């Protein structure tokens, strides 16, 4: 996959607009970022991987997700999924929102946030309003962001995402009785980004057809990952990653097992080991 030709680049002015949307409304939609050919390729890969897991029960799956189609840990499936996460336009937005300016192990203009969760999802039952930051806050500072790569058109009929604009700064948990919500309609190839503090949910998918999106949750380097990515990533994929991608997976911020290894959690590229198995 030639990423540079299949992901639309946007101007710095457009990036500033998306950052302003995130600041004020808590979400933004980037139109037509993923080429139709890349969307088709990704949908083929999603279909292939879902066929392997559709009959496998996931322990702890909530009832509300029982009719969803879900593929967990996309980063473990193929390198092509990871490549999506390092698109330069997305990085500029996430770096502005999630970078630790005091990381100091590398130039702060480069990303030092990490991946927390990465799944493919096609909605089924309605999803109540919730926040994915786990705790609310009312300031500008956030520690988690979500990026949804839309593979199928998303509308009222097939279970589109709904949000409460500005709720990311409410400092409150969600009011699930609230009816005044905003529907996010998006086209295949769009990317939707939101602050994880934003009150959001989804409508019921009434069409009986798939509504696939790839959803990546990113966090500041010090936030515990939603999946144990560094220990589960296949070494065959690890060996193909750039240093930047290894940092994104969390390999520069693994807590040291003992003081003879390191006495700080955060590290630079020089802390990377040649083999993923060497960490454990």
Closest to 89 in 3D by CA, of 195, 11, 3: 11
Helix ranges restricted to H, the chain: 3-6, 12-24, 36-53, 79-84, 88-98, 229-232, 235-238, 243-249
Q: Which residues of the chain register pLDDT less than 70?
A: 1-5, 61, 63-65
What distance lies between CA 117 and its chain's CA centroid?
6
The pLDDT of residue 101: 93
The pLDDT of residue 141: 96
The pLDDT of residue 109: 82
**What stretch of H or E contains 195?**
strand 191-195
The pairing of beta strand 114-122 with beta strand 161-163: unpaired
Q: Return d(Cα 181, Cα 200) in angstroms, integer.
A: 9
The pLDDT of residue 194: 98
CATH class for the domain made up of 3-223: mainly beta
Closest to 144 in 3D by CA, of 209, 202, 222: 222
pLDDT digits (tens, 9 = 90+) for 236-262: 999 999 999 999 999 999 998 889 888
pLDDT digits (tens, 9 = 90+) for 164-204: 999 999 999 999 999 999 999 999 999 999 999 999 999 99
Closest to 126 in 3D by CA, of 204, 72, 190, 182: 204
């Amino acid at each position: 996959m030639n990423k540079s030709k299949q992901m639309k680049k946007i101007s710095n002015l457009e990036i500033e607009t998306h950052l302003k949307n995130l600041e004020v409304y808590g979400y933004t939609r980037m139109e037509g970022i993923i080429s139709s050919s890349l969307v088709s390729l990704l949908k083929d890969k999603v279909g292939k991987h879902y066929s392997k897991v559709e009959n496998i029960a996931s322990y702890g799956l909530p009832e509300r997700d029982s009719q969803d189609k879900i593929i967990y840990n996309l980063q473990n499936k193929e390198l092509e999924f990871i490549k999506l996460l390092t698109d330069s336009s997305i990085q500029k937005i996430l770096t502005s929102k999630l970078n630790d300016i005091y990381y100091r192990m590398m130039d702060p203009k480069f990303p030092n946030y990490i991946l927390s969760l990465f799944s493919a999802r096609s909605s089924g039952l309605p999803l109540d309003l919730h926040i994915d930051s786990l705790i609310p806050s009312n300031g500008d500072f956030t520690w988690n962001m979500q990026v949804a790569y839309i593979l199928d058109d998303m509308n009222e009929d097939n279970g589109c995402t709904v949000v409460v604009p500005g709720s990311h700064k409410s400092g409150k948990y969600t009011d699930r009785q609230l009816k005044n919500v905003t529907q996010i309609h998006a086209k295949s190839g769009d990317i939707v980004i939101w602050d994880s503090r934003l009150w959001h949910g989804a409508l019921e998918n009434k069409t009986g057809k798939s509504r696939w999106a790839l959803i990546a949750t990113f966090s500041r380097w010090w936030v515990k990952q939603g999946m144990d990515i560094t220990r589960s990533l296949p070494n065959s994929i690890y060996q193909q990653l750039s240093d930047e991608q290894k940092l994104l997976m969390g390999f520069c911020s693994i807590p040291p097992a003992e003081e003879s290894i390191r006495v700080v959690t955060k590290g630079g590229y020089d802390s990377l080991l040649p083999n993923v198995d060497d960490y454990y």
